[in-house]
C-alpha cells in the first residue's frame, strides 16, 4: 500500500467529532510525522464524510465501525491497541484513554520511526512511503510502567515510548497516566512526629519498652492511629480526585513498633510485614465503598520485605516489593547468592498478592556518573518479574534534576520498550539506540559497552546500588580500554551534536579517573585538567548531581573526593 509518492498522498486521516483528547492528539501526531517523513500533506477530516478509497481511520467512530463491523472497542483495555489494514485503508484504534494514541506510535514504528531521547529521534525521510499488510493487536502485560530517570520525564517521550509513568509530564492529550496521590514513606506525612509525639507518644514505635520520637514508625495496632490515618487518606482522596493510588507505607528507616500487640502479629506472621499489612488492609477496607477507583499502596521493603504467613492483601491493596539489597551484576533469578532471598520473596508474594508492583533499582545512588554495567540483567529481570505476576514496575534510575546519569537515556529507552513488552529483544533495542544516537561513532560506543560489561560476567564480581570506584568491576584494564575507545568515538563523530553526545557518554570514565587520582600528588596536574574538562561538559549538559545526595558543585568544593570517602 503506497501512502505517499513524490511527496504527495491520496490518503486522508479520519477522526470522529466525538473523539477523546488522546484520540485527537493521536490524529495530529500521525499527521505530523507522516508529513515529516514524506513532505506530503495528509488532510485531517471528520468522519461525517463517506468512507474514502484511501484513508486512515483513527479511534472510535463511524468509519472504524464501518471498516471493522465486528470490532467492539468497548471490550478493549484502556491501553490496548489495534492497527489493521482493510484493503487500501488502515484502522488505528484502541482503548479510549491511551490505546489509540499508542496504536499511532506502534504504526509509526512499523514505518521506522523511533524516539530515542527527548532530543534525538529517527524519523525516516522518503518521497515514497509504503506499508505492507498489518494486523496488530496488543495490550501491555504491566498496568504501570515507569522508567524513573530525569531523561524520561518528558511527556512526549514517555507517550511515544508507551510509558504511563506517574512522574512523567503526561497531560490530558497523552491520555493521562497512572497517577499517585501520595508516593511512599508516608507514615510521617500522615502523623508527623514533631506535631503529635508530645501529646500522643503511644502513636509511635515502642522500642525496648520506650516510645521513641527519633525516626519512629507508627504503632500499627493503636486504634487511634488507624482512625487518624483513615481520616488522612480520605482527605487525600478528596483533595486529589484524579489520583488512583495512595501510599500508606513505612518511613525510610527502621524502628518498627515492638509493643506487645504489634509484636504478637509480627511473630505470628513471621515478619514485620504482618502488622503493616493488617493495618493497610483495614485502611483499604474503610475507603473501598466510597472510593472504589482507589488502591492503597504499601511497601515490602527492607525489614518488611518478607511476606506474611497467613495474611493476604485485600483486592484494593498494592504491594510494592523493593529489590534494594540485591546484586545487579547478575540476574535476580540466577546462581548469585546475593539475590536468592529476594527471588524467594517475590515467588511467595506472587502467590498471595493480586496487584504486585516492584520497585527495582537501575542506577548507582552514590555515583550516578560512574560506569555501572547492568544492561545484561535488564531483560532477564523484567521477564522474571513478569513471570511472577508483577503488574507494575518502577525502575528507579538517576532522577535528579538535569539528569546525566551514566547511560541514563539508553537505559530509559531500553526499559520503556521492555516494560511494554517483556519479551522484546533488549540487545536489539540497545543496538538500535546506539546506531540512532551515535552515528559513525556507534561501533566504538558498542565496543565500549562490551568492555565495561566484561568483569560482571564473573560470578564473584558483584555490583550494588551504593558501590564506589574501587569496586572490582572497574579494573585498570577496563578503564584504560574503555577510555581509549571513547576518545576514538569522539574523533569519529560526524557532527557537533553527535560529538557532544559522545562526550556525555565519556563523562563516566573521566569521573572514575578523577576519583582515582584524587589524593595522589604526582597526578595533581593531570587530575585538575581532567576535572576542568569534566565540569565543562557537565555544565554544558545541565547536570546538577553527582549522586542522589550530592551536587556536582559540592563534589568539587570537597576536593573531588577520594575513593571510599563519600
pLDDT of 356-413, one tens digit each? Answer: 999 999 999 999 999 999 999 999 999 999 999 999 999 999 999 999 999 999 999 9
118 φψ region: left (φ > 0), alpha (ψ -120 to 50), beta (else): alpha
Grid cell for residue 92: 488505528
| 101 plus 222 within the same structural domain | no
pLDDT tens-digit profile of 180-220? 999 999 999 999 999 999 999 999 999 999 999 999 999 99
Domain boundary among 298, 317, 336: 317
Give the helix/strand (H/E) hosting 285: helix 273-288
Round to whole Å and give the CA distance between 345 and 352.
11
Residue 348 to residue 418: CA distance in whole angstroms = 24
Beta pairing partners, 138:
81
Is residue 408 in some structural domain? no
pLDDT of residue 556: 85
Domains identified in the chain, total number = 3
What are the CA-CA distances from residue 285 to residues 86, 249, 280, 296, 425 (Å)? 48, 16, 9, 10, 41
State yes or no: pLDDT of 566 exceeds 60: no
520 within some domain: yes
Q: Is residue 446 part of a domain?
A: yes
Whether residue 239 has pLDDT greater than 70: yes
Same-domain status, 185 and 116: no
**Same domain? 219 vs 303:** yes
- Strands 135-138 and 12-15 come out as unpaired
User: pLDDT digits over 10-57, tens only?
Assistant: 999 999 999 999 999 999 999 999 999 999 999 999 999 999 999 999
Instruction: Indicate if 217 and 269 belong to the same structural domain.
Output: yes
- Let me know if residue 99 belongs to a domain: yes
pLDDT for residue 65: 96
Residues 193 and 134 placed together within one structural domain of the fold? no
Render pLDDT for 123-134 as a digit per residue (tens, 0 to 9): 999 999 999 999
Give the mean pLDDT of the chain. 97
Residues 444 and 514 in one domain: yes
Q: What is the CATH number of the domain that holds 106?
A: 3.30.379.10
Residue 167 lies in a domain: no
Q: Mark which of 280, 296, 317 sits at the end of a domain.
A: 317
Same domain, 186 and 135: no
Q: What 3-state DSSP class applies to 340?
A: helix
Q: Would you call 79 exposed, middle or buried from its count of C-beta atoms within 10 A (0-12, 13-18, 19+)?
A: buried
Domain boundary among 91, 116, 139: 139
Do 71 and 23 share a structural domain?
Answer: yes
User: What are the φ and ψ backbone dihedral angles of 2, each rounded to 5 degrees?
Assistant: -90, 115
Residue 309 lies in a domain: yes
The answer to whether residue 65 is domain-embedded is: yes
Three cell numbers written together for 307: 511476606
- pLDDT digits over 378-391, tens only? 999 999 999 999 99
CA distance 440 to 58: 38
Whether residue 565 has pLDDT greater than 80:
no
As given in the structure block, the three cell numbers for residue 493 are 563523530
Q: What b/e string do you get for 98-118 counting C-beta neighbours within 10 Å, with b at 16 or more? A: bbbbbbbbbbbeebebbbbbb
Task: Quote the pTM value.
Answer: 0.96
Q: Write down the pLDDT at residue 56.
A: 98
Inter-helix orientation angle 408-420/426-438, to 10°: 140
Read off the pLDDT of each residue in 315-327 and give the average, rounded to a whole number. Answer: 98
Residues 69 and 187 in one domain: no
Q: Determine the structural domain holding residue 29 and report its residue range.
A: 2-139
Q: How far apart are CA 494 and CA 421, in angstroms?
A: 33
Half-sphere exposure of 466 (CA within 13 A, CB side): 7
Burial environment of residue 428 by CB neighbours within 10 A (0 to 12, 13 to 18, 19 or more): exposed
* Same domain (yes/no): 123, 8: yes
Tell me the mean pLDDT in the region 130-143.
Answer: 97
Distance from the Cα of residue 513 to its chain's centroid:
30
Average pLDDT of the segment spanning 213-230? 98
Rounded to whole angstroms, the Cα distance separating 93 from 26 reads 10
Model confidence pLDDT, tens digit, residues 283-310: 999 999 999 999 999 999 999 999 999 9
* Residue at grid coordinates 487500501: 88
Instruction: Note whether 474 and 371 are within 8 A (CB).
Output: yes
Q: Are residues 185 and 309 in the same domain?
A: yes
Whether the per-residue pLDDT at 557 is higher than 90: the answer is: no
Question: What is the chain's alpha carbon radius of gyration, rounded to the nearest angstrom?
Answer: 26
pLDDT at res. 187: 98
- pLDDT tens-digit series, residues 94-111: 999 999 999 999 999 999
Distance CA 283, CA 280 (A): 5
Based on the fold, state whether residues 198 and 292 are members of the same structural domain.
yes
**DSSP type of residue 456:** G
CA angle centred on 109, ends 103 and 111, rounded to 5°: 115
The answer to whether residue 411 sits within a structural domain is: no
The pLDDT value given to residue 15 = 97
pLDDT at 344 over 70: yes
How much is the pLDDT for 562? 62
Amino acid at each position: 500500500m503506497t501512502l505517499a509518492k513524490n511527496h504527495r498522498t491520496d490518503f486522508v486521516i479520519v477522526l470522529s467529532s466525538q473523539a477523546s483528547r488522546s484520540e485527537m492528539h493521536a490524529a495530529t501526531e500521525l499527521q505530523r510525522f507522516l508529513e515529516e517523513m514524506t513532505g506530503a500533506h495528509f488532510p485531517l477530516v471528520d468522519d461525517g464524510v463517506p468512507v474514502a478509497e484511501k484513508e486512515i481511520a483513527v479511534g472510535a467512530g463511524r468509519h472504524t465501525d464501518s471498516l471493522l463491523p465486528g470490532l467492539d472497542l468497548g471490550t478493549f483495555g484502556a491501553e490496548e491497541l489495534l492497527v489493521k489494514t482493510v484493503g487500501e485503508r488502515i484502522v488505528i484504534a484502541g482503548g479510549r484513554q491511551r490505546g489509540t494514541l499508542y496504536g499511532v506510535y506502534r504504526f509509526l514504528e512499523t514505518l521506522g520511526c523511533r524516539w530515542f531521547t527527548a532530543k534525538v529521534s529517527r524519523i525516516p525521510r522518503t518521497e515514497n512511503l509504503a506499508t505492507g499488510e498489518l494486523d496488530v493487536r496488543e495490550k501491555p502485560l504491566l498496568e504501570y510502567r515507569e522508567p524513573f530517570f530525569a531523561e524520561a520525564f518528558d511527556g512526549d517521550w514517555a507517550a511515544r515510548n508507551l510509558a504511563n509513568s506517574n512522574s512523567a509530564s503526561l497531560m490530558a492529550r497523552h491520555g493521562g497516566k497512572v497517577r499517585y496521590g501520595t508516593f511512599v514513606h508516608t507514615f510521617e506525612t500522615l502523623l508527623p512526629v514533631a506535631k503529635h509525639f508530645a501529646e500522643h507518644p503511644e502513636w509511635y514505635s515502642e522500642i525496648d519498652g520506650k516510645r521513641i520520637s527519633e525516626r519512629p514508625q507508627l504503632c500499627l495496632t493503636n486504634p487511634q492511629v488507624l482512625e487518624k490515618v483513615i481520616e488522612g487518606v480520605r482527605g487525600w482522596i478528596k483533595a486529589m480526585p484524579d489520583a488512583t493510588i495512595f501510599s500508606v507505607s513505612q518511613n525510610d528507616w527502621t524502628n518498627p513498633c515492638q509493643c506487645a500487640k504489634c509484636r504478637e502479629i509480627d511473630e505470628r506472621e513471621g515478619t514485620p510485614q504482618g502488622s503493616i499489612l493488617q493495618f493497610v488492609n483495614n485502611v483499604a477496607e474503610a475507603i473501598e465503598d466510597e472510593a472504589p477507583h482507589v488502591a492503597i499502596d504499601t511497601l515490602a521493603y527492607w525489614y518488611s520485605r518478607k511476606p506474611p504467613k497467613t495474611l493476604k492483601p485485600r483486592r484494593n491493596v498494592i504491594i510494592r516489593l523493593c529489590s534494594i539489597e540485591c546484586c545487579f551484576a547478575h540476574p535476580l533469578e540466577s546462581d548469585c547468592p546475593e539475590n536468592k532471598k529476594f527471588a524467594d520473596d517475590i515467588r511467595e508474594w506472587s502467590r498471595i498478592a493480586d496487584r504486585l508492583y516492584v520497585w527495582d533499582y537501575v542506577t548507582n545512588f552514590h555515583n550516578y556518573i560512574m560506569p555501572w554495567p547492568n544492561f545484561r540483567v535488564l531483560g532477564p529481570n523484567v521477564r522474571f518479574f513478569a513471570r511472577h505476576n508483577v503488574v507494575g514496575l518502577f525502575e528507579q534510575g538517576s532522577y535528579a534534576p538535569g539528569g546525566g546519569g551514566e547511560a541514563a537515556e539508553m537505559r530509559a529507552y531500553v526499559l520503556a520498550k521492555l516494560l511494554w513488552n517483556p519479551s522484546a529483544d533488549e540487545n536489539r533495542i540497545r543496538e538500535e539506540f546506539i546506531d540512532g544516537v551515535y552515528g559513525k561513532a556507534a561501533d566504538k560506543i558498542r565496543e565500549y559497552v562490551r568492555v565495561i560489561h566484561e568483569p560482571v560476567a564473573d560470578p564473584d564480581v558483584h555490583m550494588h546500588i551504593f558501590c564506589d570506584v574501587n569496586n572490582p568491576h572497574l579494573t585498570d584494564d577496563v578503564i584504560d580500554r574503555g577510555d581509549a575507545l571513547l576518545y576514538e568515538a569522539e574523533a569519529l563523530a560526524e557532527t557537533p551534536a553527535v560529538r557532544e553526545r559522545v562526550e556525555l557518554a565519556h563523562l563516566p570514565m573521566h569521573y572514575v579517573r578523577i576519583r582515582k587520582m584524587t589524593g595522589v600528588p604526582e597526578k595533581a596536574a593531570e587530575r585538575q585538567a581532567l576535572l576542568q574538562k569534566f565540569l565543562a561538559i557537565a555544565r554544558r549538559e545541565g547536570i546538577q548531581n553527582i549522586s542522589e545526595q550530592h551536587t556536582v558543585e559540592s563534589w568539587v568544593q570537597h576536593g573531588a573526593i577520594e575513593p571510599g570517602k563519600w
